[in-house]
Structure 1
């Protein structure tokens, strides 16, 4: 059997490790044989619903073992999956479905109908489970699949932020998987007896890395809820609870989480953003630490460096097996060792291109003058250098794209969404802060009075949480350079003095919160404690029920910290979106009390 697709590699692992644990979640542990049987049965159902090679299936499910079974079943049926994170705004999910045109939608009952018009299957409905249970559990044959599954067939489509304001779907085939798995085995060495944490959102290719690092090696994949993976205490507790041996985490999660006693003797890999010397000093002792690099336009990654040690610059390593990274000048000539140039990626891991966006594909996937006729290389837009020993180093971007706490963000997409508000004249987005405290700030000029909170809500209605500005500032006019262009360096750094205002809607919030008197000073019980936590997280002397968390200077990483602190104090599962959507601290306290009441009712 040729091991050149995810399906072939997984089935080979099952044949060798059928009795080993494969999947661990809150419901228990499943072995490779049982997981494979469930995947095969679901795959047969998908084939009966028209899924085959080069057809797309949308998957909208929370983190669980069922999610992994669903993704693998799509691949076993010969199809490609379109991941839809249930935490994303409905408008974003609707766009991805209308743009990608999947033939089917798989969701769980925990996810409400998406109203896309795409035929759907609810995988945990009793009737559907019963129908799958009677299907054969052996591996799918080529005849059943209606065509031989080949490396060039599509594996997944993942959407990235777009500079024009429209996200682009990156179409990735199976072709790079064999070399990716070989790199994982050679560098990270996961295998039977190891436990791999599935951390990344399904909407990012890093989630595919987590799944394959475990299931193509014979290790066990650990699935935990999104709340249990929040950076800080929740993530640390999860690492300890499941005795994780391998974890791939972005720098923001590493910076927020205590390294003591977790992953002892194990392996941690930083990826998604620049890994700093501080993080290396924190995480490299007592465990193997690696640093990975690669854009969505390749099969998850392109280079890996390590084990890294404290001292000196942190490189991105050397190319994966079957891949090359070229450092070229503006005329596509190799630059000397030690000199900076633009990074180009060639080899087995390249995506097909952008789904149905031929001009964008042609601009970024260019002819490779160093490869065989017809070969391509991907123009990353990243700058870097190669030292004499072959080690590569990242040196920033050549365009307006940024990496924000592990997420790839086009500031132009945020600006386009801000500018779509009817009151906005011109919009600009910039990044403030570094690493864990990095956040987007929006600046606008307006043609009519508009509240910054309304502009944030407008952005949040269409973009994921990590792309919503921590604050939006309305300016009378933009500072300009001599040539008339906006002077981004001269934009105000600090929020205006009156950013934290007492909103009219706070009166309603106060009525719903168990508080003695309006305002922070007179708040009691839950409301007073929430105000105190906000003050502590933001490091400010005052925070009242009528204040807005982001108006006080908070950003999304601090919102994560706030959600974690509230969860620990009140023992409620407060999602990060509750913090993002709360108009006032009073509204947030009301949400906490509501969850407390529901939890008490369940206990009674």
Structure 2
């Protein structure tokens, strides 16, 4: 059993009556979930989907999204995830670049202007057609050709250093190793509940799905706003009695660890785990730290259970994987010496979709393996401890991790530089964990407002890549060799004026004063000098984590607060102030 459909079918055969999927609508058992997947898979086969066919999936978090992904894999195809929250320009680029044979979407997602044939999965007529089909397992004979482990499983786009995102093409061949690692370390199974936290546009979402559905546990899926770090995520963990969750450090840092996941499992991944987070989350539960780039099947190493708060390692390689620490001549470095991390063994991606030179640079011949084998050059620095434990030591290039997202600063710089008024652009990251944000610096050839430059970037890049602030410079500081001195770039202007209410109780503050207080809280949360009732929280540089902080601060100040959804949808800070006032007594 080496493909996702084979592994999933083996679980269904043994656990058909067990809960497989839990959401606000209720619970689906393994047998019922499998029937829905099989029916949709047959419709996809009828539309031409087969091994190595790529199918785009554009749906919000829901049970239908899980059914769609699994049905694509059951049909033999590979899925191309399209997060509906991404800018339309970026989604259109991915579709035009990957050329999927089909697009699956829900009615809540707008059609793409140009692309493949689209199927609207919640259309009543389409649902009826699926329900009328047979629900038994899809055999190899029914597929357009036999599905093998070397066939494509998914294509996920990552940020590109040249300004163009690249599609990472991952086959089924690493799934068995991943499932075995999950079983050996994380031990999810019948009776457990696994949170589906990550956006579908990231391979961590596939990890969540497999941790549940390839083990006999139940996958819990909730709307994205119920997963925001802080109280929303804590409440979801508690409400659904989650036992297993994989979260990035930014989510762990913002969320209370009390009363959730008792005796369960928490795994940190996507960014460097800190001793503070270990002290906070390792009590009363098993905690692990994972590492792995998108260019392998989700992960490569795992550490844990971690308990002390010393130097936090990334662990040892999964079974059937090897991680080499090499110098610039591909020679192993001594234990304790830093080198570049190279990953070999099962689960490597085929490479970058239709980008052969980029693939040749990063996927190189493995001098330590059999002839014809490859290893992936991660661009990460690391070292090996005396006991074989691996430790992450940063990057060797301009790639960064930003609140769990992999970001190439060069892509942001390229987008800024594409504005007709920009001469030179530089992007850097300021802050850490939840406070981490991109700041852009530009010199210009004509008049332009920073807000216009941010809007220009937001047209094509996802929200986490849009600079929180853009600073206009007359000239860049330089090093002796003439290169830009990034360390000498000025800190963006920031200020946190005091609250204008003199500490009065909420009910004693007049409406106009309340709006001023809300503006002051926004300035404090974002660390900026100005925020007016006419401004938009996110256009000022706010992100989803800071939105949860804002709600907490408003509740602390006024005793009431708007919902997270209200913050996400509010056009202005004035609307937020009105929402606060509407909730005050009297």
TM-score by length of 1: 0.90
User: Does 2:103 align with 1:105?
Assistant: yes
User: Does 2:532 align with 1:544?
Assistant: yes
Match of 1:440 in 2: 438
Distance 1:576 1:200 in 2: 21
Match of 1:389 in 2: 387
Compared with structure 1, are the counterparts of its residues 593 and 421 closer, same or farther at alpha carbon in structure 2 (3 Å cutoff)?
A: farther
Match of 1:421 in 2: 419
User: Does 2:572 align with 1:574?
Assistant: no
User: Does 2:44 align with 1:46?
Assistant: yes
Distance 2:409 2:192 in 1: 39
Which deviates the most, 554-563 or 167-176?
A: 554-563
User: Does 2:354 align with 1:363?
Assistant: no
Compared with structure 1, are the counterparts of its residues 306 and 576 closer, same or farther at alpha carbon in structure 2 (3 Å cutoff)?
A: farther
Compared with structure 1, are the counterparts of its residues 59 and 529 closer, same or farther at alpha carbon in structure 2 (3 Å cutoff)?
A: farther
Which deviates the most, 546-555 or 528-537?
A: 546-555
Compared with structure 1, are the counterparts of its residues 565 and 116 closer, same or farther at alpha carbon in structure 2 (3 Å cutoff)?
A: farther
Distance 1:434 1:121 in 2: 42
| Aligned equivalent of 2:343, options 345, 353, 373 | 345
Alignment deviations for residues 349-400 of structure 1 (CA, whole Å, 9 cap, x no partner)? 1000000000000000000000000000000000000112110000000000
User: Does 2:529 align with 1:531?
Assistant: no
Q: How does 1:553-592 map to 2 (within 5 A)?
A: 557-562=545-550, 569-574=560-565, 578=569, 582=571, 585-586=573-574
| Aligned equivalent of 1:294, options 288, 292, 299 | 292
Shift of residue 494 of structure 1?
3.3
Match of 1:81 in 2: 79
Match of 1:146 in 2: 144
Alignment deviations for residues 304-353 of structure 1 (CA, whole Å, 9 cap, x no partner)? 00000123100000001111100000000001111110000001110000
Kindly tell me the number of residue pairs found equivalent between the two proteins. 569
Match of 1:69 in 2: 67
Distance 2:297 2:22 in 1: 25
C-alpha RMSD of matched pairs (Å): 2.4
Distance 1:306 1:425 in 2: 48
Shift of residue 561 of structure 1?
2.7
Give SS of 1:9's match.
helix
Shift of residue 147 of structure 1?
1.1
Shift of residue 563 of structure 1?
5.9
User: Does 2:471 align with 1:480?
Assistant: no
| Aligned equivalent of 1:211, options 205, 209, 212 | 209
Match of 2:268 in 1: 270
Shift of residue 118 of structure 1?
1.5
Alignment deviations for residues 123-145 of structure 1 (CA, whole Å, 9 cap, x no partner)? 01111000000100001111110
Match of 2:55 in 1: 57
The answer as to whether partners of 2:469 and 2:492 remain within 8 angstroms in 1 is no
| Aligned equivalent of 1:490, options 470, 488, 491 | 488
Compared with structure 1, are the counterparts of its residues 139 and 550 closer, same or farther at alpha carbon in structure 2 (3 Å cutoff)?
A: closer
Shift of residue 435 of structure 1?
1.6
Distance 2:330 2:530 in 1: 56
User: Does 2:364 align with 1:376?
Assistant: no
Compared with structure 1, are the counterparts of its residues 168 and 539 closer, same or farther at alpha carbon in structure 2 (3 Å cutoff)?
A: closer
Match of 1:457 in 2: 455
Match of 2:410 in 1: 412
The answer as to whether partners of 1:13 and 1:218 remain within 8 angstroms in 2 is yes
The answer as to whether partners of 2:551 and 2:561 remain within 8 angstroms in 1 is no
Alignment deviations for residues 178-203 of structure 1 (CA, whole Å, 9 cap, x no partner)? 00000000000000000000000000
Distance 2:466 2:453 in 1: 10
Distance 1:158 1:577 in 2: 26
The answer as to whether partners of 2:53 and 2:77 remain within 8 angstroms in 1 is yes
Which deviates the most, 114-123 or 568-577?
A: 568-577
Match of 2:506 in 1: none
Shift of residue 109 of structure 1?
1.0
Which deviates the most, 432-441 or 63-72?
A: 432-441
Match of 1:249 in 2: 247
Compared with structure 1, are the counterparts of its residues 525 and 198 closer, same or farther at alpha carbon in structure 2 (3 Å cutoff)?
A: farther
| Aligned equivalent of 2:163, options 155, 162, 165 | 165
Alignment deviations for residues 453-473 of structure 1 (CA, whole Å, 9 cap, x no partner)? 111111111101110111000
Shift of residue 437 of structure 1?
1.1
Distance 1:128 1:9 in 2: 28
The answer as to whether partners of 1:470 and 1:556 remain within 8 angstroms in 2 is no
Distance 1:311 1:573 in 2: 33
Distance 1:539 1:159 in 2: 32
Distance 2:124 2:246 in 1: 35
Distance 1:198 1:432 in 2: 29
Distance 1:576 1:398 in 2: 38
Compared with structure 1, are the counterparts of its residues 388 and 50 closer, same or farther at alpha carbon in structure 2 (3 Å cutoff)?
A: same
TM-score by length of 2: 0.93
Match of 1:517 in 2: none
Uncovered stretches (5+) of structure 2, i.e. residues with no partner: 498-508
Distance 1:142 1:154 in 2: 16
Distance 2:40 2:71 in 1: 6
Compared with structure 1, are the counterparts of its residues 414 and 150 closer, same or farther at alpha carbon in structure 2 (3 Å cutoff)?
A: same
